[in-house]
Structure 1
Amino acid sequence: MSAAASTLSLSISAVPLTSKGSGSREISRKNSNGMPSPYWQIFAPNSSKNGPKYACRQAIGSQFPLCAAAYWFTVQELPMCYSAMVRSDYAKFVREYGAKLSLKNFYELFYRRLGDSSILIPKSVEAAFEMPQSEAERDIKMAIAQYAADREKELLADLETQRARLAKATAKLQVKFTKTAAADQRIATKKIPWYEEKIAKLHQTRLSAIDSRIFPGSYVPVMVMEYGERVLKLMRYHCRPSHVPESFDKEFPGCYNARKDSLKGFWRHQYGKTHGVIVISRFYEHVPRHLAEGRQSLQPGEKPGTVVVEFWPEPEQDLVLACVWARWTAPGVPDLLSFAIITDDPPPEVRAVGHDRCVVPIRPKDIDTWLQPEQSTYEQLDAILDPSARPYFRHALLTGETPDAEEQES
């Protein structure tokens, strides 16, 4: 579920179309089906010294609303904040932040998940309903139990398939060696403990650290303002703006973060209109291994590598992260609520470890102002995101449990 260390992100630059120049070549951006995209034409500089940057303009006849015909836009590969440990203790949310749960929103998502495997909800969010206090909460707990039962049935069937595959391959290899049988034996031997571990986790009642981590695509409790009240709603951690087609998700997989310097450009339909916050205790980044280990360069013969680094505030405290969100609607499908965490240039201690972005925490006293952006000017909203609100961040290389990944080898 976690994203790669480097993901495409849009950084808007207002450069007149006349700056295209003669040193560019037109290439086609392809959509998820491998066909040329109807929305973009991309112009890449011929010179490789410019790095992974592309200038793109609106295709003739296109109605894609993100790109204005009068400007070029720069697309850059950028490391992104890809994971955080989210607070999901709702009783504490109510007590400390005065937020109430949108039970309707939670109920709908948990029941939709029974028929939609793309809805990913962290186990720590499920745990909040272990001791339901109302009929709606009891219904949610039933949906969670039904999902676990359905998931276990699927995993048990897959496990038996792999056990049979292993037995068949082993029997064949006892008679004659074949590459196919050897591959089946190797793959099944790897898959069997993976399925066994997944089944065991379904029955695990004690939460582990990984159960509270969120990754792009998972649904997260986001605090918003509705009718003057702070409300928690589950939203997907990967924002799909309301004015784009559904294919946007695959075209722009890095939109789980919103660059602070792009808020009035790429994110102009959300910034100043739909704001939210999430509460986390720490966040995680992919960084070059040698920088994370305090070395400024690779050792002779050492190959570049990355590690996951855990960052937390000193002194330890909740981090209230600024977000933008959107409600996407289309005929015949459920509404999608989704959000992106705002990121900015990092403080020195984060940059020293090798990462060039950082989440943007805001002061608790600014929460209501941030959640009601229509009552403030851009200057006032910009001031809330001022770097002076950030604490000092300590860090450590992440060891131990890592996020699950579906086996790709079949």
Structure 2
Amino acid sequence: MCYSAQIEQSYKDYVRKFGADISIDEFAKVFWSDRSAKTPKAMRQAFLNSSEPWANEIIQGIEALNKEQSAKFEQELFAQKTRLNKAVVSLKTKETKKALEDKRIASNKIKAAESRLKDLKRSKLEPKDSRVFPGIFSTVVAAENGKRFVAPMRYGCRLAGKPASYDQRYPGTYNARRDSLEGFWRQQFGYTHALIIADKFYENVEIDCKNVVLEFEPRDGEPMLIACLWSRWTDPKGIEPDLLSFAAITDEPEPEVAAAGHDRTIINIKPEHVDAWLNPDPANLEALYAIFDDKRHPYYEHRIAA
């Protein structure tokens, strides 16, 4: 499984690299229609740095969202500082288990809220700002009717025609196993393909009976072109907003990944296969498997993630 990845989020890089059009409406929807949608800071910052007139609506949505989040963190800070002060006053009179626990919890929540506020306000990007976990939206390039487009898609694919509860029933749909592409993923494989550009990917492994997150990065430093499937979901009742979502395809592990303790590896396709991958022929699935078999094999160095 690809637990998470550090994914390129600048729409400009996808437009330039793949000659794709940007889906302005889809980005606007994420920041205006679905206020609960989680997006990486690097995605938002790419628009905030834009001077394109068409980006104004998206920028306004991001600024409104940032303002809401800032107010939420400020409220959390006020509530926890009040809780901490009460605990400190109480402890001066008598040391109780509740007061000690309130002091501990409030102190931790204050630190977390301050960190979130700091991250929200800074403009200089850090590597963590591009990292995507299941349930978070990412910048993705895909094709529809032979035309490439760049859009925000949620990492965790909700298949078209399925109920929204599908997310809870199948929480692992952020990855698509190669050996299940013609089964579970048959409506996407050969039809709706996508790519993400990633610098690193992360996996959970067990070391000395403890769960550890490992960070994998190609030794050659080349960005990975990760093969994905995507779906356009529409609520038949018209209540929930439309959802674009995707899954990364995984294959048998590269030897060094297996040696590190993980049993799957993303499929890092070669640049010359991009067009064939994004514009698949459902009548020729063998050609798609041939792309997988001809994938890039950089040595994936690993380290324990910070």
What TM-score does the superposition give when structure 2 sets the normalisation length? 0.94
Indicate which of 379, 392, 405 corresponds to 2:299: 392
CA distance in 1, matches of 2:159, 2:213: 29
Indicate which of 99, 109, 121 corresponds to 2:30: 109
Which amino acid in structure 1 is aligned with residue 234 of structure 2? T
**Gap change, CA 1:387 and 1:284, over 3 Å in 2:** farther
Indicate which of 134, 139, 147 corresponds to 1:229: 147
- Report the 3-state secondary structure (helix = DSSP H, G, I; strand = E; otherwise coil) of the residue aligned with 1:268: coil
Offset of residue 388 of structure 1:
4.5
Aligned to 1:351: 258
CA distance in 1, matches of 2:116, 2:219: 35
Aligned to 2:66: 148
Which amino acid in structure 2 is aligned with residue 125 of structure 1? M
Q: Confirm or deny that 1:215 pairs with 2:122.
A: no
Offset of residue 350 of structure 1:
0.8
Indicate which of 53, 56, 59 corresponds to 1:135: 53
Offset of residue 235 of structure 1:
0.6
Offset of residue 152 of structure 1:
0.9
What TM-score does the superposition give when structure 1 sets the normalisation length? 0.71
Indicate which of 122, 136, 146 corresponds to 1:204: 122
Where in structure 2 are the equivalents of 1:176-325 lying within 5 Å? 176-289=94-207, 298=208, 304-325=209-230
- Per-residue displacement from partner, 1:93-142 (whole Å, max 9, x unpaired)? 233221221111111111124xx32x011000011112333333122112
Asked if the contact 2:33–2:241 (Cα under 8 Å) also holds between the matched residues in 1, the reply is no
Asked if the contact 1:362–1:390 (Cα under 8 Å) also holds between the matched residues in 2, the reply is no
- Per-residue displacement from partner, 1:297-349 (whole Å, max 9, x unpaired)? x5xxxxx1122211112311121111111111112222111110000111111
Aligned to 1:378: 285
Which amino acid in structure 2 is aligned with residue 386 of structure 1? D
CA distance in 2, matches of 1:188, 1:398: 27
Which amino acid in structure 2 is aligned with residue 395 of structure 1? H
CA distance in 2, matches of 1:215, 1:343: 16
- Report the 3-state secondary structure (helix = DSSP H, G, I; strand = E; otherwise coil) of the residue aligned with 1:316: coil
Asked if the contact 1:107–1:136 (Cα under 8 Å) also holds between the matched residues in 2, the reply is no
CA distance in 1, matches of 2:157, 2:11: 23
CA distance in 2, matches of 1:108, 1:88: 17
- Report the 3-state secondary structure (helix = DSSP H, G, I; strand = E; otherwise coil) of the residue aligned with 1:128: helix
Instruction: Give the gaps of 5 or more residues in structure 2.
Output: none
- Report the 3-state secondary structure (helix = DSSP H, G, I; strand = E; otherwise coil) of the residue aligned with 1:382: helix
Offset of residue 356 of structure 1:
0.6
- Per-residue displacement from partner, 1:152-183 (whole Å, max 9, x unpaired)? 11111111111111111221222223222221
- Report the 3-state secondary structure (helix = DSSP H, G, I; strand = E; otherwise coil) of the residue aligned with 1:129: helix
- Report the 3-state secondary structure (helix = DSSP H, G, I; strand = E; otherwise coil) of the residue aligned with 2:261: coil
CA distance in 1, matches of 2:135, 2:221: 27
Q: CA RMSD in A?
A: 1.6
CA distance in 1, matches of 2:222, 2:39: 24
Offset of residue 187 of structure 1:
0.8
Offset of residue 282 of structure 1:
1.4
Q: Confirm or deny that 1:125 pairs with 2:43.
A: yes
- Report the 3-state secondary structure (helix = DSSP H, G, I; strand = E; otherwise coil) of the residue aligned with 1:216: coil
- Report the 3-state secondary structure (helix = DSSP H, G, I; strand = E; otherwise coil) of the residue aligned with 2:242: strand
CA distance in 2, matches of 1:246, 1:95: 34
Which amino acid in structure 2 is aligned with residue 175 of structure 1? T
Aligned to 1:341: 248
Indicate which of 89, 92, 107 corresponds to 2:10: 89
Asked if the contact 1:83–1:215 (Cα under 8 Å) also holds between the matched residues in 2, the reply is yes
Which amino acid in structure 2 is aligned with residue 212 of structure 1? S
The list of structure 1 runs, each at least 4 consecutive aligned residues, that deviate by more than 3 angstroms after superposition, is none
CA distance in 2, matches of 1:324, 1:388: 16
Q: Which has the higher strand share?
A: 1
Asked if the contact 1:275–1:373 (Cα under 8 Å) also holds between the matched residues in 2, the reply is yes
Which amino acid in structure 2 is aligned with residue 308 of structure 1? V
- Per-residue displacement from partner, 1:256-293 (whole Å, max 9, x unpaired)? 0000000011111111111111111111111223xxxx
Q: Which has the higher helix share?
A: 2
CA distance in 1, matches of 2:20, 2:296: 22
Q: Percent of aligned pairs with the same residue?
A: 41
Bigger relative contact order, structure 1 or 2, given CA contacts below 8 A and separation 6+? 2
The count of aligned residue pairs is 304
CA distance in 2, matches of 1:130, 1:244: 35
Asked if the contact 1:360–1:390 (Cα under 8 Å) also holds between the matched residues in 2, the reply is no
Q: Confirm or deny that 1:171 pairs with 2:89.
A: yes
CA distance in 1, matches of 2:146, 2:187: 22
**Gap change, CA 1:82 and 1:387, over 3 Å in 2:** farther
**Gap change, CA 1:253 and 1:346, over 3 Å in 2:** same
Instruction: Give the gaps of 5 or more residues in structure 1.
Output: 1-79, 290-297, 299-303, 400-410
CA distance in 1, matches of 2:205, 2:274: 31
